[in-house]
Amino acid sequence: AQSVAQPEDQVNVAEGNPLTVKCTYSVSGNPYLFWYVQYPNRGLQFLLKYITGDNLVKGSYGFEAEFNKSQTSFHLKKPSALVSDSALYFCAVTSGNFNKFYFGSGTKLNVKP
Amino acid sequence: NAGVTQTPKFQVLKTGQSMTLQCAQDMNHEYMSWYRQDPGMGLRLIHYSVGAGITDQGEVPNGYNVSRSTTEDFPLRLLSAAPSQTSVYFCASSYSYGSQGAYEQYFGPGTRLTVT
* Chain A CA closest to residue B104: A46
Q: How many CA atoms lie within 13 A of B115 on its CB side?
A: 17
Give residue A2's pLDDT. Answer: 87
Say which amino acid occupies A10. Answer: Q
Gap between the Cα atoms of B7 and A46, Å rounded:
22
Gap between the Cα atoms of A93 and A28, Å rounded:
11
* Chain B CA closest to residue A96: B98
Give residue B100's pLDDT. Answer: 55
Q: How many angstroms away from the CA of B88 is the closest CA of chain A? A: 10
Give residue A95's pLDDT. Answer: 84
**Cβ of residue A43 closer than 8 Å to a chain B Cβ:** yes
**Cβ of residue A106 closer than 8 Å to a chain B Cβ:** yes
Mean pLDDT of chain B: 92
Within B1-116, where are the H helices?
Answer: none
Q: Does the pLDDT of residue A97 top 80, yes or no?
A: no
Give residue B41's pLDDT. Answer: 87
Percentage of residues of chain B with pLDDT beyond 90 = 83
pLDDT in tens, A21-64: 999 999 988 899 999 999 988 889 999 999 888 999 999 999 99
pLDDT in tens, A66-95: 999 999 999 999 999 999 999 999 999 988
Yes or no, beta carbons of A51 and B48 under 8 Å apart? no
Residues of chain B with pLDDT under 50: 99
